[in-house]
Every structure is written in structure tokens, then in C-alpha cells.
Amino acid sequence: MPNWIKKSFVVLISILTFGMISPQDLLAWNNQKSDDHEVVPDHLEVSALPALSKEQSVEQLIAQAREITATKLGNRILPRIETDFETEVLPKIEEIILDLIDTYPDEEITDLAISPIIGKGDGERIFHIMDTKSNDEVLYFHVRKDRPPLEGYSFNFHYHTVEDGFETHHELAEVYWGKDTPAKFGSDQIH
């Protein structure tokens, strides 16, 4: 299909959807599909945790957090930083989740869930934890690629809390990558 038709179609869709779907989203989706990559969904289905014990609820939240974080890093990044990730980042994520759960009464723990919108691309977002009853997000987990001068690349894992309006970066860990440019988040193929 000629480029001018693709671009016209994208503009038409943007107009019809009142900007809810941007041209970049459609072009990115088209490029992903044409590269035969598996398309990662923008949303996960949110469901409140079933009536489980406190320990089971915690285990389920932590298991989801591990899976989403591993997916965000992708098969190009995760194997190279896996040791630091397993020893430095995951225990701290678990600790923060446990601290959050301790602030909730036992009967409201099942109201906590991973937000349905998952982080993709080069954005910082890994996942957010939300209260499904109030539909408010209470905790953000993010990762950022940093490149201090003459030091190489590193990944800054941090979180934000609702207590300070999600303004303060609370550092979890800084994981060194190396001098070479890291792959995009979620990347599976060598570029």
C-alpha cells in the first residue's frame, strides 16, 4: 500500500476518534505487525483478587509484578541484568508491596490489583497498583534508562506513592548496563 494512503488513513482515523488514537499509535502498531513481532496488548484485564487469604493475595500480586516487570525488560535486556534484577530490584519491589498491603485492613487487601494499563515502549512505566474499589492508583513502579557522562548506561528502578502526589522518586536500585546502548524495553530481537 502506498505511503500516502497509509498516512491519509491515519489522519482519517485520528479525526474520527477525536484524537483518542494517535497517528503514532497506528504507525507503531503497523510497524510491529509488519515486523512479525508479537503485539503486546495495551491493557490487562483487571479483576479483583478472588477471596484469598492475605498471604495468597500478596503472593498473587508479587507474581504478577514479577511477570510484568520481566515482560517490560524483554528478552534482550533481562538476561544481561538478571542477577542484579533478582537480587536488588525484585526483593525491594516485594518489600514495597508488602508495606502497602500492611496499610490496608485484611478485608480490603483483595481490592488491590495491578492496573490494567501496562508499560510499553521506552516509557518509564512498568506497572501501577490500584485500589479497584475506588479505582484510584496508589503506587507506581517505573524504570528509566540513565546515561551519566562517561559512565555508560544504567537502569534506574524507582517508585512513586500517592502520599506525596506521585512527585518524589523513591529509588529501588540502579542496575548498570554497560557502555553500549541497551535495546528498547520489551525487545526480543537483535537490532
Give pLDDT tens digits for 44-69.
444 444 456 677 778 888 899 889 88
Helix then strand then coil, in percent of the chain rounded to 5, is 45, 20, 35
Domain residues of the chain, as ranges? 3-34, 54-178
**What gap in Å lies between CA 115 and CA 122, rounded to an integer?**
18
Of the two residues 107 and 49, the one the predictor is more confident about is: 107
Residue 138 pairs in a beta bridge with none
Q: According to DSSP H, which parts of 3-148 are helical? A: 3-16, 23-34, 54-84, 90-102
Band of residue 34 on the pLDDT scale cut at 50, 70, 90: very low
d(Cα 157, Cα 173) in Å, to the nearest integer?
5
Q: Is the pLDDT of residue 182 over 70?
A: yes
Does pLDDT of 145 surpass 50? yes
Per-residue pLDDT, averaged over 6-27, amounts to 58
User: Phi and psi at residue 163, in whole multiples of 5°?
Assistant: -60, -35
Q: Please, which pLDDT band fits residue 138 given cuts at 50, 70 and 90?
A: very high
Q: Please tell me the least confidently modeled range out of 7-16, 99-108, 139-148.
A: 7-16
The pLDDT value recorded for residue 15 is 63
Q: Give, as one character, the DSSP assignment of residue 179.
A: S
